[in-house]
Amino acid sequence: MPSYRDALCAFLASQEGGGWASLPVFAPGAAAERAAVAADADRAAGEVVAPAPGRFLAALALTPLEQVRVVILGQDPYPTPGHANGLAFSYVGPPPVPRSLVNIYKERAEDLGLAAPIDGDLSSWARQGVLLLNTALTVREGASKAGSHLALGWGAVTDAVIAAVSASRPHVVFLLWGAPAQAKRGLIDESRHLVLASPHPSPLSARRGFFGSKPFSRANARLVGKGEAPIAW
């Protein structure tokens, strides 16, 4: 299996110096490389780190900077073994779907009248310009290890990504789900972009305001109002 640093280098090479790779945070020796090296060190020390190196930059790979129209910001990847795939809240695997995603589908059903999909793959959203980003890009797998890489150094990377979207893209809708996501609100120019903040869709907090927040219809209303095509949620 390649290292996180190797996977980062391969991703940046695929960008040919443009897009996400143009951000200073991705320069050699900068925050992204330092965080990737720290993730490799954690794995070398015996921890199982998720998602796998080949997937930890999936959100940026599937949604180029110049195509971002919506940002869904979560906390960190699923720590349950086999659940994380590099796209915030997305899941590709056997049933059951993670509970946070179940709640996202419940709100989607209430908001748009759409039945829950049979799987948890959100890559179709990503390909329409929905950046499915976590504030940390890796996590240690295992019970009670959620948030274990929040202090690893990814915060500087995702801060730069959010700031770049705010600075370079027009009228983006930012869905900030949970306290760690909402802590990034100051990076967003709200004179140009719409911010929809709510509690995290986790079973621990979804009933405190995530349910009933109607993020999908409100995001589409904003996009349509700006002359953009709506997202096929």
What is the side-by-side strand order in the sheet with 130-134? 130-134, 70-74, 173-177, 194-198
Q: How far is C-alpha 135 from the geometric centre of its chain's CA atoms?
A: 7
How open is the CA angle 25-27-30, to the nearest 5 degrees?
60
Strands 49-50 and 139-140, sheet pairing: antiparallel
76 is a catalytic site residue = yes
Tokens representing residue 193 in the block: 């972009």
Tokens representing residue 136 in the block: 């940390």
Rg over alpha carbons for the chain, rounded to the nearest Å, is 17
Three-state SS for 3? coil
CB under 8 A, 24+ apart: contacts of 16-22? 19/64, 19/65, 19/66, 20/60, 20/64, 20/65, 20/161, 20/164
Q: Which of 42, 76, 159, 189 is catalytic?
A: 76
By annotation, the residues acting in catalysis are 76
